[in-house]
Structure 1
Amino acid sequence: MTRFILCSFALVLLYPTAIDLYLVGLPQIARDLGASESQLHIAFSVYLAGMATTMVFAGKLSDVIGRRPIAIAGAIIFTLASLLGSTVENSQSFLIVRFIQGIGAGSCYVVAFAILRDKLDDKHRAKVLSMVNGITCIMPVIAPVIGHLIMLSFPWPSLFITMTAMGGMDRNKATHYLNK
């Protein structure tokens, strides 16, 4: 049971971390991409649009073909988009990458909650959902600090490399911990 809970936590973490980790690098990202910060602030909405679009389909699709393939696909999409995010050269590409990251994170997010619904009774699910909510609420505080610490030694693409690693770890967790 613990493996499903830990896997769900990892899948949920992509969503808030990818929103807040890169924010400290936004001035440098804008400068390097030849855009203004205000032009790139829409990246938050674009990311959420990718998530929202995916959530409509990912939940139903995971009911039909299973949680594991959707979680793995979401983690792979997130990982590849994050890797591309570290190499973008203009603001349009940056926004496209953020949308695709949202698609991957949305798939993982939906599956995480579906797993909890599948595996836990009402009493345990309420406790676990409280912990998940706590993680989701604390990440907007922790992620920018982590992002700042990363940027003390590395340029902004390293933020997206960090997200790439997170997506790769989620793919591994989904591959190993979710039933085939």
Structure 2
Amino acid sequence: MSKQRYFLLILILGTLAALGPFSIDMYLPGFPAIAKDLRTSVAEVSLSLSSFFVGVSAGQLLYGPLLDRFGRKKPLYVGLLLYVLASVGCFLAYSIDALIALRFVQALGSCAATVASVAMVRDLFPVKDSAKVFALLSLVISVSPMLAPTVGSYMVGAYGWQSVFLVLFGMGALMLLAAVLWLPESYPPDPSYSLHPRPILTNFWTVSKNPQFFTYALTGAMTFGGLLAYVSGSPLVFMDIFGTSEQQYGWIFALLSVGFIGSSQVNSWVLRYYRSEQIVLVAMVCQSVIGGVFLLGTMLGWFGLGATIGMLFLFLCCLGFANPNAAALSIAPFAKNAGSAAALMGATQMAVGALASFGVSVFNTHTAVPMVAIMAVSALLALLIQAVGRRVIGQPVAVADDAAVLAH
């Protein structure tokens, strides 16, 4: 494979993998404008984010079997076409209920891009190169929480919130064109692959019974729930309560993303000296303490804008250590069912995240307390799951030195 071909494939696969994160982060600065235009509240607008998470959770379980049965490209085409049409619908949405429903459909479409990009890395690149390719894809994805809300904030200010969905439509259309023209079919259709629910569910059930899987998958899901509570609640907290502009919010979100992304990079260095299970436990203890102090201080009115940003930065730093290691430990026991384990882990994360996001919307007190409370409780639950699960696991299956997990 030539260098130009190698670079083009990574660029296309990386952009496909980043489509979902861009769809989440880019419209966050538009929450107040959407609420005003659709005559609703910012809290209710955040339900459109919850519905997106539900769609991603369902889509992760849906596309895995379809990609094995029909090959990689046909399900990808269908998903991207669905994404493009749903983006147009979001652009034209006339009510909050319509936006919530269309975001669910958009998520189902974006999921095809995410799942297919991961599967095609395994198909197109040698095993010895997969860790390097996944690292490059993760780098592309990591740019989205820094770039997407900042770009989105300026677009909302200049052209209105609908312009964000016009950009997402353009991204989806370009990805569909790139997939048709330059992405090879990397896996032949397998007519013998059964799409009957029973064997698929049996496979998921076998995976879920593994003590190491359910301990670290649930730990990761709880920490991810804390992350999505922050993502859902941050527009209300920063723009509605602290009164920042869309542009200021975009830069704050980008700054806080540095904590999560930076600590996940430092994690690679820490892994030279400590095991993954040790890092997860320490991260959960630190996050629980930070979450408790954050909740107490928020309830008592200790924290202004600067202190709130500082506490969120520390909380997200803990996530950067916990999530990659929890994900790697979840999948480590599996060789044959690694794909099912990854899909089930991702679906569990998004399901818990959707519940956390929904909680932020429902318990709307026009304070930061609901967001911070859900973050603190999620950290404490993750620590409790660790405490119980480590006794059940006994000796955990170690993570391979070259293991690579693509974070969503």
Q: Normalising by structure 1, what TM-score?
A: 0.95
> How far has the Cα of 1:18 moved from its partner?
0.3
Corresponding residue SS for 1:86 = helix
Deviation at 1:123, TM superposition (A): 2.5
2:176 counterpart (163, 171, 179): 171
Mapped partners of 1:42, 1:124: distance in 2: 40
| 1-structure distance, mates of 2:113, 2:123 | 15
- Give the corresponding residue for 1:118: 123
Q: Is contact 1:71–1:108 with CA below 8 Å preserved after alignment? A: yes
User: Which runs of structure 2 are paired with 1:63-78 in the superposition (5 Å)?
Assistant: 63-78=68-83
Shift of 1:141: 1.4
Change (3 A) 1:21 1:12: same
> Partner of 1:8 in structure 2?
13
| 1:36 alignment counterpart | 41
Farther-moved stretch of structure 1 (9-18 vs 148-157): 148-157
Q: CA deviation at 1:139?
A: 0.8
Indicate the residue corresponding to 1:52 in structure 2: 57
> Whole-Å Cα distance in 2 between the matches of residues 131 and 46 of structure 1?
29
Of 116, 140, 155, the residue aligned with 2:145 is 140
Give the alignment partner of residue 150 of structure 1, picking from 142, 147, 155.
Answer: 155
Distance (whole Å) between structure 1 residues aligned to residue 84 and residue 59 of structure 2: 16
Alpha-carbon offset, residue 48 of structure 1: 1.5
Question: Structure 1 regions of 5+ residues with no counterpart?
Answer: none
User: Percent same amino acid among aligned pairs?
Assistant: 28
**How many Å separate the matches in 2 of 1:45 and 1:106?**
15
- 1:96-117: per-residue Cα shift (whole Å, max 9, x none)? 1110110001111100001101
SS in 1 for 2:92: coil
Shift in Å, 1:135: 2.2
Equivalent residue in structure 1 for 2:164, among 151, 154, 159: 159
Unaligned runs of 5+ in 2: 186-408
Contact 1:86 1:160 in 2 (8 A): yes
Aligned AA for 1:74?
G
Distance 2:179 2:15 in 1: 9
User: How much has 1:52 moved relative to structure 2?
Assistant: 1.5
Q: 1:17·1:140 contact (CA, 8 Å) conserved in 2?
A: yes
Distance (whole Å) between structure 2 residues aligned to residue 130 and residue 98 of structure 1: 29
Task: Kindly provide the amino acid, as one letter, of the partner of residue 119 in structure 2.
Answer: A
Quote the Cα distance in structure 1 between the aligned partners of 2:46 and 2:157. 22
**How high is the TM-score relative to the length of structure 2?**
0.43
1:55 and 1:110 in contact (8 A); partners too:
yes
Distance 1:135 1:124 in 2: 17
In the alignment, which of 84, 87, 102 is matched to residue 82 of structure 1? 87
Does the Cα contact within 8 Å between 1:67 and 1:178 map onto a contact in 2? no
Are the aligned partners of 2:15 and 2:140 in contact in 1 as well (CA < 8 Å)?
no
Contact residue 10 and residue 136 of structure 2 kept, 8 A: no
Residue 132 of structure 2 corresponds to which residue in structure 1? 127
> C-alpha distance in 1, partners of 2:136/2:112?
20
How much does 1:167 deviate? 0.4
Higher mean displacement: 63-72 or 18-27? 63-72
- Determine if the alignment matches structure 1 residue 107 to structure 2 residue 85: no
Q: Which has the higher contact order (CA 8 A, sep 6+)?
A: 1
Q: Distance in 2 between matches of 1:149 and 1:31?
A: 18
Between the aligned partners of 2:9 and 2:73, the Cα distance in structure 1 is 11
Aligned-partner residue type, residue 174 of structure 2: M
Q: Determine the C-alpha separation between the residues in 2 that align with 1:167 and 1:148.
A: 20
